Amino acid sequence: MGKILRFLFFAGFIRPFVVLILGLRVRNRERLPVKGPAIIAANHNSHMDTMVLMSLFPLKQLPIVHPVAAADYWLANRWITWFANNIIGIVPIERKRKSRDDDPLQPCYDALENDQIIIFFPEGSRGKPEQLSEVKSGIAKLAGLYPDVPVVPIFLHGMGKVWPRGDFMIVPFTVDVVIGRSLKGSTCSSKEFLRRYKTRIEKLAAQGNFTSWV
Amino acid sequence: MGILLVEVSFVILGSLLMIPALSPAPIQVLTRWYPPRQITALHLGLRTRYFITGLFVLSLLFDTPMVYGLLGFAIFWSIKEQFTTMPTRQSDRRTLFLIYLLIPIQLFLIANGWEVASVFFLPVFVLIILPLLMWSVERTNFYDALMLMQWGILATAWVMSVVVTLWLEPLKSNPIVAGGGLMIYLLALAQINMLIRRNVTLRKMTS
């Protein structure tokens, strides 16, 4: 039941909305992973980010694509929890550690071991519209533990214009998606990995000559 | 008789154009000519183009409702492209949203046959109400933002809505070619223009 509802929600609502109302301009679509396990790592400005990234994949891949999301936000009450688990299909992670042995990224490990494609936002939470925020270390940890899993960096532009944080109104703009070559964590330390990820995202951002939004 | 023939040929052409949009056949043709890296993007692009063309050809037939839908969407799309390309102020988000809401009003004016109102509605809004709105929201960078917005709306929404009017009201003097015929003429002109410009600029860049 949940699966059918999820399919209907994405095929009938999210995808038409993203493609027809917003409009996508995707560069290097062939670099998207075709099968799991894989990690999609994108910059984060808006809730729309997740929707756009999930619309990039063909519909038959939908069952294996799951966004990583903050448990304290998405599992706040019963209705949102149901929606997040069954319709969006999130991988919930705790932003605050409960005890010392607790690993907040445990749900991500489970998903990757089940050959899923997870959508990860290394910046943590939604930053200011159309600005890159500081990258947190979670992505490097994941890449270090799963050295063979490709990390695909994706730069998104325009989402902060469409639906910035703290606003209720969605205004249509064409959205740019620049997909980069995948990184692997096996070859370097986590600090080095973060640096590589950051430079790659900045290079992708430079490809489009995007102007900042004031 | 002549009109019927034109209509039948449009139906056949439109349906034929829809086939490659929905079938996997193009991908097999493309794999022969292009490296596999480019196939996905090419295939998707090709499919979209066939779909648009097919939709357009079919809508040339079923006059009113489909034309309103299609052209309302085309107007919306053109404004959105304009707003994406030009620099906008963050504080103008609500104004931009309001401008999208003008499209149905404009289409309503055209559908009701209020030609004069439909011609004057957008310019009056853009020249009198829009400056007040934008001035009341934010005053820094006001003139730049206002002029870009005025020019953008008139060059996209207003021009396109004139095309809608011409499409839906065939000239009495030439009932066969006017309307849909005018649309085809405009489209052919725009496409040939684009093709020539692209080829000429490419050649200039490479030589």
User: Digits of tens for pLDDT over chain A (214 positions)?
Assistant: 778 899 999 999 999 999 889 988 888 888 889 887 899 999 998 888 999 999 999 888 898 999 998 888 888 888 889 888 888 888 988 877 667 777 888 888 888 889 999 999 988 778 777 778 878 888 888 888 888 899 999 999 988 889 888 888 899 999 999 999 988 876 678 888 888 889 999 999 888 777 777 6
**pLDDT value at residue A155:** 93
Option in B40, B83, B87 nearest A29 (CB):
B40
**pLDDT value at residue B205:** 56
Q: Flag whether pLDDT at B128 surpasses 90.
A: yes
Option in A30, A169, A211 nearest B87 (CB):
A211
Q: What angle do CA A200, A206, A207 make, to 5 degrees?
A: 95
CB contact under 8 A, A174 and B96: no
Find all residues with CB under 8 Å of B161, minimum gap 6, and list them.
Answer: B75, B106, B107, B110, B118, B122
CB contact under 8 A, B77 and A23: yes
Both tokens of B109, joined, read 């004016």
Q: CA A210 to CA A213: how far, in whole Å?
A: 9
d(CA B82, nearest CA chain A) in Å = 9
Residue with tokens 């809730």: A47
Option in A23, A30, A211 nearest B41 (CB):
A30
**pLDDT value at residue B64:** 63
**pLDDT value at residue A123:** 86
Partners of A29 on chain B (C-beta within 8 Å) are: 40-41, 44
CB atoms within 10 A of CB A43: 25
Exposure string over B23-59, b if 16+ CB within 10 A, otherwise e: eeebeeebeeeeeeeebbebbeebbeebeebbbbbbb
Find all residues with CB under 8 Å of A173, minimum gap 6, and list them.
Answer: A22, A158, A161, A162, B80, B83, B84
Q: pTM to 2 decimals?
A: 0.81
CB contact under 8 A, A20 and B73: yes
Which of the pair, B120 or B40, is modelled with greater confidence?
A: B120
**pLDDT value at residue A207:** 85
| Average pLDDT of the segment spanning B63-71 | 74
d(CA A183, nearest CA chain B) in Å = 18
Partners of A129 on chain B (C-beta within 8 Å) are: 90
Helix, strand, coil distribution of chain B in percent, nearest 5: 85, 0, 15
Both tokens of B21, joined, read 């949009």
Give the single-character DSSP code of B131. Answer: H
CB atoms within 10 A of CB A163: 23
Nearest CA-CA partner of A146 in A186, A190, A187: A186
Q: CA A85 to CA A82: how far, in whole Å?
A: 5
CB contact under 8 A, A29 and B38: no
Give the single-character DSSP code of B19. Answer: H
**pLDDT value at residue B170:** 64
Q: Which alpha helices (H) appear in B2-62, and where do they start and end?
A: 2-22, 25-33, 36-59
CB contact under 8 A, A23 and B80: yes
B172 — pLDDT class (breaks 50, 70, 90): low
Nearest chain A residue to B74, by CA: A20
CB contact under 8 A, A30 and B38: yes
Exposure string over B170-206, b if 16+ CB within 10 A, otherwise e: beeeeeeebbbbbbeeeeeeeeeeeeeeeeeeeeeee
Both tokens of A22, joined, read 């917003």
Sign of CA dihedral B126, B132, B133, B134: positive
Q: Flag whether pLDDT at B206 surpasses 70.
A: no
Nearest chain A residue to B76, by CA: A21
Chains A and B form CB pairs within 8 A to the count of 39
CB contact under 8 A, B90 and A129: yes
**pLDDT value at residue B15:** 75
Cis upstream peptide for A58 (omega within 30°): no
Cβ contact A161:A82 at 8 Å: no
Partners of B73 on chain A (C-beta within 8 Å) are: 20
**pLDDT value at residue B175:** 66
pLDDT, tens only, B104-125: 999 899 888 888 898 899 999 9
d(CA B172, nearest CA chain A) in Å = 36
Cα torsion for B131, B132, B133, B134, to the nearest 10°? 50
**pLDDT value at residue A214:** 66
Partners of B90 on chain A (C-beta within 8 Å) are: 129, 213-214
B194 — pLDDT class (breaks 50, 70, 90): confident
Q: Flag whether pLDDT at B174 surpasses 80.
A: no
d(CA B42, nearest CA chain A) in Å = 10
Helix (H, G, I), strand (E, B) or coil at A96: coil
Cβ contact B158:B173 at 8 Å: no
CB contact under 8 A, B100 and A30: no
**Interface confidence (ipTM) of the complex:** 0.83
Nearest chain B residue to A22, by CA: B80
**pLDDT value at residue B201:** 65
Helix (H, G, I), strand (E, B) or coil at A179: strand
